[in-house]
Structure 1
Amino acid sequence: MALADLFEDFSTPVETGDQFRMMSDTALEDHRLAAFEQGYKAGWDDAVSSQTEAHGRITEALMQSIEDLSFTYHEALAGMQVSTEPLLRALVEKVLPRALHDTLGLHLTERLTEMATAAAGQPVTVTVAPEDAKALQGAFQNRFPVDVELRQDPALTGGQVRLGIGQAETECDCDALIAEIGDSVDAYFHHVREAERHG
């Protein structure tokens, strides 16, 4: 009696037709390698899929954070812009008119210097509203090699000045300049409010 008859045969039979045959060691090794490669490929595909999914979640979370941050930034910027409105209005309505009035003589001196250079030797006149004449009375003394005649015109309002050298004449209107700046401030804050209202 052979030893093989005493023990059960656990080798893997391969069915061919109606008969079973034993798988050779080489075929068994090929079968194992194919199973390993298939398992490895499935694991690799699963890892790539998980990584892609995780990357997608991270990207989505990052984009959401950027959106939230952008919204917060624009909200803060709009709030800051609106909070500066009283300051800008005070500058335009109170500080700027006073500053222009206080420095009107200096501005006129600069403008007259430019005009006098272009028309040397011509008579120089500065025509202002009666309320501005007193403030400008001594502003031009000893500043020019020629005399500057200060005239008053009741048709002019405060802040309006007419400069003349010979036949050349130009006008300065501080009030119109302040009004123009005020209109620009109004337009700016109207735009800010519209942007805030419509997001």
Structure 2
Amino acid sequence: MCAALVLEEFTALLPGGEAPADEAPACPPAGAGAQERLHTEVWEQGYKAGWEDALRNEADEQQRISTELARSLQEMTFGYFEARAEVVASLEPLLKQMAEAVFPPLAAEAVSAALHEQLEQVLESGEDAVELVLSPAGRAAVESRLGEALPPAVRLVEEDTVADCQAYLRMPRSERLIDVGAALEAVRAAIDAFFAQHGEREVVNG
């Protein structure tokens, strides 16, 4: 018959020799909650600081881009006005030379065109003796333009004192002046005003 195996009890005894009761679950240390809150606050502060840095960097980058764009636009604008000034400056003498070269014959042609209308009105009114007083250039233009269309009642008279842009219709009891010089002078004034205004604008932009 086998003998019973007796094992030694190794359970630690409580003070006073009593055996411990069932062990309760271990409680967290008293400072664990405070440490967790501190960790959370540190993380939130770090996140906030990183977000603020990102926003500040983005704002700085936007400012840099805006500054570079403004500088580029300013350089482009300056280049445009500089090129425009050079073009206009080169056109000024050319336009004025063209005006002076074209205006005299143009004036004579304009006078002859205006005379045609005025002569019709005068002759329709019953005048039978009309002197057409012109400058030498004006007479040549009228003869070239009207030629044989001039009625016999009209007699051409050439006078050096008459400007190329003028003509007189002299009748026994009245006289009419045809002057296209005002229109030509208006064109000259417009050219001068354009370049004067352009020069003032360049001074302001410069």
- Secondary structure at the residue paired with 2:80? helix
Deviation at 1:90, TM superposition (A): 2.0
User: Which one has the largest radius of gyration?
Assistant: 2
- Helix, strand or coil: the match of 1:162? strand
Report the equivalent of 1:185.
Answer: 191
Cα distance in structure 1, aligned partners of 2:89 and 2:179: 32
Query: Hey, what's the Cα distance between the residues in 1 that align with 2:155 and 2:184?
Result: 24
Equivalent residue for 1:159?
Answer: 165
TM-score in terms of structure 1 length:
0.67
> Residues 160 and 172 of structure 1 are in contact (CA less than 8 Å); yes or no, is this contact kept in structure 2?
yes
Structure 1 residues 35-184: aligned runs within 5 Å = 35-102=42-109, 104-109=111-116, 111-112=117-118, 116=121, 120-123=124-127, 126-137=132-143, 139-140=145-146, 149-152=154-157, 154=159, 155-163=161-169, 169-174=176-181, 177-184=183-190
- 1:174-193 superposed Cα distances (whole Å, 9 cap, x missing partner): 4x544553344344334444
CA contact (8 A) 1:161 1:171 kept: yes
- 1:112 is displaced (CA, Å) by 2.4
**Residues paired across the two proteins, number:** 174
Q: Counterpart of 1:98 in structure 2: which amino acid?
A: P
> Matches of 1:150 and 1:135 in 2, distance apart?
15
CA distance in 2, matches of 1:58, 1:51: 11
Partner of 1:29: 36
Matches of 2:139 and 2:105, distance apart in 1: 16
Mapped to 2, the partners of 1:53 and 1:78 lie a distance apart of 37
- Give the superposition deviation at 1:159: 2.7
- C-alpha deviation, 1:32, in angstroms: 2.0
Q: Secondary structure at 1:137's aligned position in 2? A: helix
The AA in structure 1 aligned to 2:105 is R
RMSD: 3.5
Q: What amino acid does structure 1 have at the position aligned with 2:138?
A: D
Aligned-residue identity in percent: 25
In 2, Cα distance between equivalents of 1:45 and 1:119:
94
Query: Are the counterparts in 2 of residues 160 and 171 from structure 1 also a CA contact under 8 Å?
Result: yes
Q: Is the 8 A contact 1:137 1:150 kept in 2?
A: no
- TM-score normalized with structure 2 length: 0.65
| Uncovered stretches (5+) of structure 1, i.e. residues with no partner | 3-20
Higher strand share goes to which structure?
A: 1
Amino acid paired to 2:154: E
